[in-house]
Homo-oligomer: A and B are copies of this chain.
């Protein structure tokens, strides 16, 4: 199949219908450029993630799962800014053009993207080792942008959900480790279908002082907040939220996985003590699992009750 037919058949049809009725999306796939009118008074935010087979996901994985997770990991960056998802582009490098693979991959992307109004508007498809570059774009009111730079000494530190499951799942999804039943399902889902924190983030953005999403592990990612805000942090490892499955299956490794394992795509945020009631109200209303794990300090970084390595996911 020729490149143009391939793109047109699979991606254009997937994107065309979604663009209709969207006043912000003027031109989608099929011209030299896509064209967008950012809604009046709003800013554009965007993030690009590159995923390489054998590095960010296992070889020969289910293409629908790859598509879903590729969008999820990118959308998580929009969530961290408190942005509303708008559209995305896809740079796809493929060893061959397998229409079945592509259809499943596109369906996996659409399963997450469509309900949140994230429309595919452009990209490029080329031949080579399987590599996926996704750029997701969202809109935000400039007065409610959440950055990493607003944390103040004394603020509480929170994380959503549970940590460590996705990292624990890696040997399972690569097939290195064989587990069955509930255990398999729990960790398969944790790795391939991370919970979207978009709505939570949109609600939280008015009360947090800083926020980011956890992709490389808590102790590594939180450094970005500390550096950008010029503060320190104290974390109590006994407060780190972990699933019962993880604690039972990997009692010795659980804490290390939760502190340093990547791919959870949960939110980590700071909020002033005065906002505790509001944070609690939001998380209760949304049934959002959310745990206070420590405090922002003047300087330094300590994790009470943990003496392991502070080593997060490193790409090199």
Contact = CB atoms under 8 A, between A and B. Distances in A.
A123 interface: yes
Contacts of A2: 314, 316
Interface in A161-219: 212-213
Given A128-B131, A131-B93, A45 B55 contact: no
A46 interface: yes
Given A1-B316, A315-B125, A316-B2, A46 B33 contact: yes
Interface string A134-157: 010010101001011000000000
Contacts of A1: 316
A33 B133 contact: no
A127 interface: yes
A37 interface: yes
Given A38-B38, A124-B50, A126-B55, A33 B138 contact: yes
A55 B147 contact: no
B32 A80 contact: yes
A316 B92 CA distance: 13
Nearest to A89: B48
A253 interface: no
Interface residues of A, number: 63
A81 B31 CA distance: 9
B93 A50 contact: yes
Interface in A8-67: 26-27, 30-38, 43-52, 54-56
A43 B35 contact: yes
A128 B49 CA distance: 14
28 contacts: A3-B314, A3-B316, A6-B316, A26-B43, A30-B228, A32-B78, A32-B148, A32-B212, A33-B80, A35-B140, A36-B43, A46-B122, A47-B122, A48-B91, A48-B123, A48-B124, A50-B125, A50-B126, A50-B131, A51-B126, A54-B128, A55-B126, A55-B128, A91-B91, A127-B315, A128-B131, A129-B129, A131-B133
Interface of A: 1-3, 6, 26-27, 30-38, 43-52, 54-56, 77-78, 80-81, 83, 89-93, 96-97, 122-129, 131, 133, 135, 138, 140, 142, 145, 147-148, 212-213, 228, 314-316
The 7 lowest CB-CB distance pairs between A and B, nearest first, are A52-B128, A91-B133, A133-B133, A32-B80, A33-B45, A3-B315, A50-B91
